[in-house]
Chain A
Amino acid sequence: SAVISQKPSRDICQRGTSLTIQCQVDSQVTMMFWYRQQPGQSLTLIATANQGSEATYESGFVIDKFPISRPNLTFSTLTVSNMSPEDSSIYLCSAGTGGGYEQYFGPGTRLTVT
């Protein structure tokens, strides 16, 4: 298993600004992922954070809007750029372990854009 921490836990931001969310894992992991979850909804994968190379984005998500960094095997950041109220959501990072990539999730960052 892995223990994941995220910062900040919540934030209220103004339209047009950017927020960077940090994700720290307590051990080296191969896979790290970023998800978005609206309250009461399922998880939508934003991208896979690749160590040492560009992130792999899912359909509907682009690097200009959600730049991701992964400088090493224990840390990743997700930036939500030029925010609008539609970006209000919970953002979760996860670490994939094991051969089948069981995912261990961080506590999430609750973002509100006004």
Chain B
Amino acid sequence: GQQVMQIPQYQHVQEGEDFTTYCNSSTTLSNIQWYKQRPGGHPVFLIQLVKSGEVKKQKRLTFQFGEAKKNSSLHITATQTTDVGTYFCAGRQGGQNFVFGPGTRLSVLP
């Protein structure tokens, strides 16, 4: 079945440093979504990528969808303490439901 992996599992950064998390699928995806979950909170939708090679930006966050539509990345520039949380990618193959990756837990040291 479809599998979605993420690396790294954990990342500790100093405030102001950049952060990147990578998402890899065993199969070609029709689209991919990214969610953020703060400690004690619920997942919050960030963005959806659909096109091969697509790049989208939200302020300090940059999202990429690979050319082969099997991988994606989320890059945060100059992290802030408000960026703390777990970032999940969720991939969808065809008309199937989304499969969530295991997440990357980000901690930001002030």
Contacts and interface: CB of A to CB of B under 8 A. Distances in A.
B39 to A, nearest CB: 10
A92 B100 contact: no
Nearest to A93: B42
Interface stretch (A20-28, A62-70, A74-82, A105-113): A105-113
Contacts of B48: 98, 100, 102
Contacts of A45: 97-100
A67 B102 CA distance: 26
What band does the interface of chain B fall in when counting residues whose beta carbon is under 8 Å from A?
20 to 34
B93 to A, nearest CB: 13
Interface residues of A, number: 21
Interface in B58-110: 88, 90, 92, 97-103
A43 interface: yes
A33 B97 contact: yes
Given A42-B88, A45-B98, A105-B42, 7 more contacts: A42-B100, A100-B50, A103-B35, A103-B45, A104-B45, A105-B43, A108-B42
